[in-house]
Amino acid sequence: MRYPECERCGKLSPRMSLVGNALAAAFKISVGMLTGSKGLVADGVHSIADAFASGFILLALKIAGKPHDEDHPYGYGKVEYLSTLFAASFLFICASLIMWDDVLAFVNGIHEVPLNASLFATAVCLLYSFVLYRSNICAGTQLGSPAIIADAYESRADCFSAAAVLLGLIGTKMGFIYADAIAAGFVALLIYHMSMEMFLQGIHGLIDSSSDKRIIDQVVEISLAVEGVEGVRSINARRMGQKNWIDLVIDVSEKKSVLEAHMVGEKVKEAIAARMREVGGISINCFPIKKTVFGNF
């Protein structure tokens, strides 16, 4: 269920992600280089990619919020899926750079153990990423925004990567000097997985995926409650970012004039628009039927 606070949170969360990821990247890379932690530096590079991705998502949300016009009758909602693809591409490149640096570390050998300060820094980053993830996943789910949800998944990946780095650092303190480098490699694998998951979600949205069954059922329920609607003959609903676009065919009595049938369709539109904020546009066609004691034909 969407709450009034969700609109405000949905606008604030991407901005928090952009600023937060940029600061986190600078913090992780600085501390990682000073303390000699490859895992923390890798996590910092991950945050740089997240910051760029958050910037794309913020821009996409601004464009997607524009109302539909003559040139774009279905609106700009699919821009959110494009931003998801851009974010996924950045993450994939980032993971490749981390993995390459990690391979070189194993080939050339590791000669230093990270300082204790890296443990505290990683724990702080883990906590921050978790708070950011909870904020974004709540706003994205309530608003039905694929872009904000993608941003939340990036924050979730940050949580896993920070946890891996923390375990790696603990391993180095216990005498296993390769633990930090292994953690960096694990971070790269996590980012690979997340980037592919996001990429597939973006592709899925661009090829007109169907709306949730809940949305379709609610449209049918509202339509049947409108006076003059004898039935719902067909319904096609597709996701367009945060909004859903509905193509609906309703049954009306053949005794109604063209104007009367049109008015029934308009009442259905008004009823759906009034009760469903997730719907961005509705196309309704009326199918004349003959009512008899044996049923409608």
- Which of 6, 191, 200 is CA-nearest to residue 84? 200
| pLDDT at position 297 | 56
| Residues in the chain where the model's pLDDT stays below 50 | 1
Query: Both tokens of residue 214?
Result: 């809940």
pLDDT for res 109: 65
Looking at residue 295, its pLDDT comes to: 59
Q: Cβ atoms within 10 A of the Cβ of 10, count?
A: 23
CA 90, 91, 97: angle at the middle one, nearest 5? 95
The pLDDT score that the predictor gives to residue 176 is 79
Which pLDDT belongs to residue 267?
A: 92
Which domains can be identified in the chain, with CATH numbers? Answer: 4-206 (1.20.1510.10), 213-296 (3.30.70.1350)
Condensed to tens digits (0 to 9), the pLDDT of residues 10-51 reads: 667 777 778 888 888 888 888 888 877 777 787 787 777 777
